Amino acid sequence: MTETPIIPVPSESDRTPRAAIILAAGHGTRMRSALPKVLHPVGGRPMLHWALALARAAGAERIILVAGAHSGEVHAEAAKFLPAQDIVIQDPPMGTGHAVSCARAALAEFEGDALVIFADTPLIPPETAERLFAAVAGDASVAVLGFRPADPGEYGRLVTGANGALERIVEARDANAAEKLIPLCNSGVMAAPAKLLFSLLARVTNHNAKGEYYLTDIVGLAVGDGLQARVIETAAEDVLGVNSRADLAAAEAVFQSRKRAEMLAHGISLQAPDSVHFSWDTEIAPDVLVEPFVVFGPGVTIATGAEIRAFSHLEGANVREGARIGPFARLRKGADIGGHAHIGNFVEVKNVRIGEGAKANHLAYLGDGTVGAGANIGAGVVFCNYDGYDKYQTHVGAGAFIGSDCALVAPVTIGAGAYTGSGSVITDDVPEDALALARGRQILREGWAAHFRAEKRRAKD
């Protein structure tokens, strides 16, 4: 199995074992997309991965994913991170209670607490999941994550007693007028001992407005059995669920706002924070300057003292201390920019290690290879790395000078301190400290232009 890029499980030997049940069986029709809803990204990371990360961060030793029979793509993605026996299918869909019940067999031997989360709710902080588990470890048999939205609308309402204990959850369609005035709403996320959870679900019926088996009904059943249910409140934005493109944009906006605040607090200068776009794993050291309209795709690391100038796009790149990128630069996967190197306007770098202090200040494509320390790459230089079938390497030695408008046809090596004349097409290796010229000889014809213009004028008379 592929190693999942998510937070490792904390080791707490004295803690009750934990499991997570991730619900990902929805059709996502309102997304109007061929891509399954839970594979759409927030912060450059599929929402399914956010749910997996939350489960790991909460200390789940078992993670059960409930997928729909209609979505082979979700199943295939989950299979990169979970064993086959931990991916179960809900078919046909009959509500959230039925979806959780689909995990019963997978957790038949599990002795511990279970957390139910949704693969389309990517913004729940790990500490919030920890609070749910803590409530179950305390006096609660069931802990429900609640929130207070500006517009309760179609959310289920959390009905609490005089002592604040949760008595039941009523779905909006089944709520009476008084219940609809309750501001405290159900996120759908909850925790309970696994065996109790499945025992309660076995008693849930579908006698409701939608004819479905509601997970929420277990609260009323638990309270009726004399058990304690509690509400753990969180911010509305934490439980923002994604059902449409508008919801996806709203979730992205929340993520970006949080990431910008995190960066500013960490000592990064953002000249126009709202114009900078981060990914979930962007790592930037203190004392980095980021100018307006910069996009950080996944896999970017920036060392202290670097400058990322306006309108640059970086993904899968490493920028070392004091380097300057942009404006209008593009760093692609495998770009590794050395300390105090310069990558200027309209320069694209892909899978190239740029040495310390090297410069490619304008209008160049550097793909697959290395550039030595202190080398200079002139305007219009192209590493010709692809023949239509395979990629090849170009290596430029330390202190080399590549003249403007040179094409370096890989595989090729330019030795340390060597020069290539402007406009050259270099197909053979160049030794250290040599000059390579590969261009046609200039022909000069005195007076030709004046004669040409005169002939053209006569032709028009």
Q: Which two tokens stand for residue 5?
A: 């890029």
Length of the chain in terms of residues written: 461
Architecture of domain 18-239: Alpha-Beta Complex (3.90)
Q: What is the pLDDT of residue 177?
A: 93
Asked whether the beta carbons of 74 and 36 are under 8 A apart, the reply is yes
Domain ranges in the chain are 18-239, 266-357, 363-461
- Greatest mean pLDDT range, 147-161, 317-331, 432-446: 317-331
What Rg value do the Cα atoms of the chain yield, rounded? Answer: 30
> With respect to CATH, is domain 266-357 assigned 3.40.50.620?
no
Asked whether the beta carbons of 372 and 418 are under 8 A apart, the reply is no
What is the DSSP pairing of strand 18-24 with strand 394-396?
unpaired
How many other β-carbons are positioned within 10 Å of the β-carbon of residue 52?
Answer: 28
Mean pLDDT value of segment 306-323: 98
φ/ψ region of 215 (left if φ > 0, alpha if ψ in -120 to 50, else beta) reads alpha
Question: Can 362 be counted among the known catalytic residues?
Answer: yes
State the virtual CA torsion across 235, 237, 242, 247 in degrees, nearest 10: 150
Q: What is the pLDDT of residues 344-361, one digit of tens each?
A: 999 999 999 999 999 999
Percent of the chain with pLDDT over 70: 97
CA 29, CA 244: separation in Å to the nearest integer?
8
| Residue 242 pLDDT greater than 70, yes or no | yes
CA 14, CA 250: separation in Å to the nearest integer?
40
pTM for this structure? 0.91
Name the 3-class secondary structure at 396: strand
Side chain identity, residue 314: L
Mean pLDDT value of segment 211-221: 93
Q: What is the pLDDT of residues 365-381, one digit of tens each?
A: 999 999 999 999 999 99
What is the DSSP pairing of strand 113-118 with strand 18-24?
parallel
CA-nearest of 64, 58, 57, 60 to 22 is 64
**DSSP result, 4-57:** P-SPPPP--TTSPPEEEEEEE----GGG--SS-GGGSEETTEEHHHHHHHHHHH
CATH superfamily of 363-461: Hexapeptide repeat proteins (2.160.10.10)
pLDDT band at 12 (very low <50, low <70, confident <90, very high): low
Active-site position among 70, 362, 395, 451: 362
Q: What is the pLDDT of residues 124-154, one digit of tens each?
A: 999 999 999 999 999 999 999 999 999 998 8
CA 182, CA 341: separation in Å to the nearest integer?
59
The yes-or-no answer to whether 266-357 and 363-461 have a common fold is yes
| Residue 6 pLDDT greater than 80, yes or no | no
| Residue 7 pLDDT greater than 80, yes or no | no
Asked whether the beta carbons of 47 and 39 are under 8 A apart, the reply is yes
CA 461, CA 449: separation in Å to the nearest integer?
19
Q: Mean pLDDT over all residues of the chain?
A: 94
Q: What is the pLDDT of residue 1?
A: 38
Q: What is the pLDDT of residues 16-53, one digit of tens each?
A: 999 999 999 988 899 999 999 999 999 999 999 999 99
Q: What is the pLDDT of residue 5?
A: 43
